Structure 1
Amino acid sequence: MRSEQEIMDLILSVAKSDSRILAAYLKGSRTNPNVPKDLYRDFDLMYVVTETDSFRQDPAWLDLFGPRILTQEQDSEFGYGDRFGLRTNYQQLYSWLLLLEDGNRIDLGVETVEHMQQGCTRNKLFLPLLDKIGCLPKLPPPSDEDFHVKPPTASQFHGCCNEFFWSLCDVAKGIARDELPFAMTTYHAQARPMLEQMLAWYVGCATDFSISCGKSNKFFRNCLPQPLYQRYTQIYCDSDYQHMWQAIRIACSLFHDAAKDVGAQLGFSYPQADEDGFSQYLTFIQRTLCQANSGGPL
């Protein structure tokens, strides 16, 4: 595997030798002083260019970074362009994800000076590498401040609580119907994000909203008190319905404790009626399952 310095030298060499490239900057985890350094960090690179069309029309220039074992680009169906609404405006911005044979990964974009100056893809994790024409902005040292947990409004707090319990009603209904894909998808795509949002607010309250929990809350293990994190790990379950019921019970207990704490610290009332309504619906589900002899106790 090529070292960080070898990749950085290559990034600069490509920029210096190509007259279409006017400037280069790094963003993402390699600019973040609060992220642990390891071998798996991507090189999130942006080249500021005279135009994007020639880079898109002849992607052979990407071979300069070394043999690739997997590539995705902004216009790929179902790819990151779809996920983040980026399948447009290619004349101003285009990008590729490059997984190289030696294990390094470069997420590489090209953008026009005009697009860069608009700041559409820029945050405080910004590290200038090269500027041939003096076009890059003068910014403070990189900071992950833009990604710190933000305090909720009362409306957001209550909406999170309501969505958590409402989604779990659909999960319970899916289990009762033996619709595993629906139950599991609803649990992980709707209910779990609400629990994780509440836990992020819990972290924010404990740290005066001064840290980030990381992308997809990947730093929960370090941010949450160990007993709370251990409970959190138990909300993940397999396809056994009894295990799903157990995970739901743990998730509800964890949500209740975290939300009560967040509410108390921020002056928000906990919507106990929402939790009670969900509990009542679970009792109904349990009763009908027992009557049908097609499910176990909650």
Structure 2
Amino acid sequence: MKTRTEKEIIDLIIGFAQNDDRIRAVLMNGSRVNPNATKDIFQDYDIVNLVTDVEPFKDENYILSHFGETIIIQKPEGKIYPPPVGDGRYNYNMQLVDGNRIDLSFFNINRIDELRKDSLTEVLLDKDHIIPNLLDPSESSYLIKEPTEKLFNDCCDEFIFGLGSHIPKTIWRKELPLLKAYIDIVLGKPLIN
């Protein structure tokens, strides 16, 4: 099967939304709208559909009939593990037979202000002209912000205490699974913050 082009996939996504009155707007975010991202064959389509009601879009047959044959589908909000986000959205992460991958999300239109915070967002369709002018896509909401002095000191304290207390104790006791958890959580989390 021939891999569909970016234009073909975008047209498919917009066509799906145009033919369903419950979908009022469509946004795309992620690496495909990032001007600094290198385009490659692994870029997926991160699509957000703003809808009047999320519930009807949980009908897998309705959704899948529009996008083509899939290899695998993941529905994160319908799973036990990892636990769902639980914020009212519904997602289909679809690996299509033609090689394209679409992460198709459905959010209630009332959550539009939350979604505008993502600086890597581009409007594909706005049926009601409800999405205010967005800035050009940029990485601004993803950039690391300088920590406050208190946050920096707290992270250092957590790291040093873990290194001096939790880590030696688990090494001494040969508790390797617990050691791994401490390294990831006690040492890793402060470094990421």
TM-score (norm 1): 0.58
**Distance (whole Å) between structure 1 residues aligned to residue 37 and residue 182 of structure 2:** 31
1:212-268 Cα deviation digits (max 9, x unpaired): xxxxxxxxxxxxxxxxxxxxxxxxxxxxxxxxxxxxxxxxxxxxxxxxxxxxxxxxx
**Distance (whole Å) between structure 1 residues aligned to residue 39 and residue 175 of structure 2:** 42
Q: Quick check: 1:166 aligned with 2:161? A: yes
Is this contact kept in 1: 2:48–2:105, CA < 8 A? yes
Residue 294 of structure 1 is matched in structure 2 by none
Post-superposition offset of 1:80? 5.8
RMSD of aligned C-alpha atoms?
1.9
Q: 1:157 aligns with which of 152, 155, 167?
A: 152
**Distance (whole Å) between structure 2 residues aligned to residue 31 and residue 103 of structure 1:** 19
Higher strand fraction: Structure 1 or Structure 2? 2
Residue 128 of structure 2 is matched in structure 1 by 133
Post-superposition offset of 1:175? 1.4
Higher relative contact order by CA 8 Å / sep ≥ 6: 1 or 2?
Answer: 2
Post-superposition offset of 1:196? 4.2
Post-superposition offset of 1:153? 1.0
Q: Which has the larger radius of gyration?
A: 1
- Which structure 2 residue ranges, 5 or more long, are not aligned? none
Which one-letter code corresponds to 2:74 in the other structure? Answer: T
Post-superposition offset of 1:77? 0.9
For the structure 1 residues 37 and 80, does the alpha-carbon distance in structure 2 shift closer, same or farther, using more than 3 Å as the test?
farther
- Which structure 1 residue ranges, 5 or more long, are not aligned? 198-298
**Distance (whole Å) between structure 2 residues aligned to residue 186 and residue 51 of structure 1:** 42
Equivalent positions of 1:98-117 (< 5 A) are 98-116=94-112
Residue 284 of structure 1 is matched in structure 2 by none
Q: 2:54 aligns with which of 47, 52, 56?
A: 52
Q: Quick check: 1:87 aligned with 2:82? A: no
Post-superposition offset of 1:24? 0.8
Is this contact kept in 2: 1:71–1:96, CA < 8 A? yes
**SS at structure 1 position matched to 2:115:** coil
Which one-letter code corresponds to 1:165 in the other structure? Answer: I
Higher helix fraction: Structure 1 or Structure 2? 1
For the structure 1 residues 72 and 13, does the alpha-carbon distance in structure 2 shift closer, same or farther, using more than 3 Å as the test?
same
1:25-56 Cα deviation digits (max 9, x unpaired): 11122111122221212211011222212112
Q: Quick check: 1:78 aligned with 2:81? A: yes
Residue 6 of structure 2 is matched in structure 1 by 4
* Identity rate, percent: 34
**SS at structure 1 position matched to 2:25:** strand
Q: 2:180 aligns with which of 163, 178, 184?
A: 184
Structure 1 runs (4+) deviating above 6 angstroms are none
For the structure 1 residues 102 and 186, does the alpha-carbon distance in structure 2 shift closer, same or farther, using more than 3 Å as the test?
farther
**SS at structure 2 position matched to 1:87:** coil
